[in-house]
Amino acid sequence: MDLLEVLRLDELSHGLANLSMFPYFELSHYVVSIMALREQPGAVEVSRVSPLACWFSSMLFCFGGAVLSGIMLAEPPVAPLSNSTSVLLASVVWYLVFYCPMDLVYCCAALLPLRLVLSGMKEVTRTWKVLGGVTQAHNKYKDGLLVMIAVGWARGAGGGLISNFEQLVRGVWKPETNELLKMSYPTKITLIGAVLFALQQTHYLPVQKHHLMLIYTAFTVVNKSRMMLTGSSTSPFAAIESVIYKTLFSGSSPYAAITGEARETCADGGAKSRKTSTKESRANGAAEQQSPPSPVSGQSSSVETKEESENDKKTN
């Protein structure tokens, strides 16, 4: 882009594109992910009862994106665990975060300045994960734009997308926390990145890859830092999402009005019928209680009693 060249950011974008994620950026990703797991309700108790379940949940937080994207591309889901160095590094981080004496590692990493740096480095790894998923799908499906978006999204936000399965490992079942029902900010920003990189790969977006990487990384890091410093969890796209939702999915429709009137009519009719039936049953009950015994029925009963007594005397 000419603007980046004018601002002398072209070299910076090339340097960012050639930056190695291992070990420092990957280490920050493991630390932030496992700290997020520890802050889940009941996670500490599970770590004391079943360390194996806690470790498995931590690996899903760290490698969930690679596992999910592998499943989508019909590749072995255990392939991410074949990298023994990464698994060992993540396991060491898991042990220190959960079982370090006096919680020194967790307390130090939870300090705002250090956590701000770690979270920013984790956002840098998000760019590489999304781009890696899009590129991996592009190698198999050249024109599969939707496949590229789905795999890139899964690769970058897999830990959140499979959160329900991870919760089952810890003995928790909360289907209402499904990311597809209510997306969190990381899931939304990852989806936007997957769309942008997929459009760039298919040449629908006239931007060079390293320039797009710089723009996307800078936006995610700056916005994540802003949210942490202000303590806000509001997405920067909240206003746009509200306008799109009200325009496309909740607009006024005559069919909606007819349906609403029909529902009100049915509800009123049902309420009236219930009230009428209640009143009738009460009236019938009161009438039964207040009605005196019939003289005809009394006379018939006395005649039957006399006949029975005469029959008894004859038999005796």
Looking at per-residue pLDDT, the higher value among 146 and 278 belongs to 146
* pLDDT for 10: 83
- What is the pLDDT averaged over residues 144-172? 94
* pLDDT for 116: 97
Residue pLDDT, tens place only, 19-61: 999 999 999 999 999 999 999 999 999 999 999 999 999 999 9
Asked whether the predicted pLDDT for residue 149 surpasses 90, the reply is: yes
The total of other beta-carbon atoms located within 10 Å of residue 116's CB is: 14
Asked if 42 and 170 count as a contact pair (C-beta separation under 8 A), the reply is yes
* pLDDT for 143: 87
Residue pLDDT, tens place only, 195-225: 999 999 999 999 999 999 999 999 999 999 9
Q: Which of 6-15, 91-100, 129-138 has the lowest mean pLDDT?
A: 6-15
Asked whether the predicted pLDDT for residue 293 surpasses 60, the reply is: no
- What is the pLDDT averaged over residues 71-90? 93
Q: How confident is the model at residue 287 (pLDDT cuts 50, 70, 90)?
A: very low
Mean pLDDT of the chain: 84
In the chain, the amino acid numbered 176 is: E
* Count of alpha carbons within 13 angstroms of residue 115, beta-carbon side: 18
- What is the pLDDT averaged over residues 176-198? 93
Q: Which residues of 213-241 are buried (b: 16+ CB within 10 A; e: fewer)?
A: bbbbbbbbbeebeebeeeeeeebeeeeee
Asked whether the predicted pLDDT for residue 13 surpasses 50, the reply is: yes
* pLDDT for 36: 96
Q: How confident is the model at residue 6 (pLDDT cuts 50, 70, 90)?
A: low
* pLDDT for 232: 85
* pLDDT for 279: 53
Burial category of 53 from C-beta neighbours within 10 Å (exposed 0-12, middle 13-18, buried 19 and up)? middle
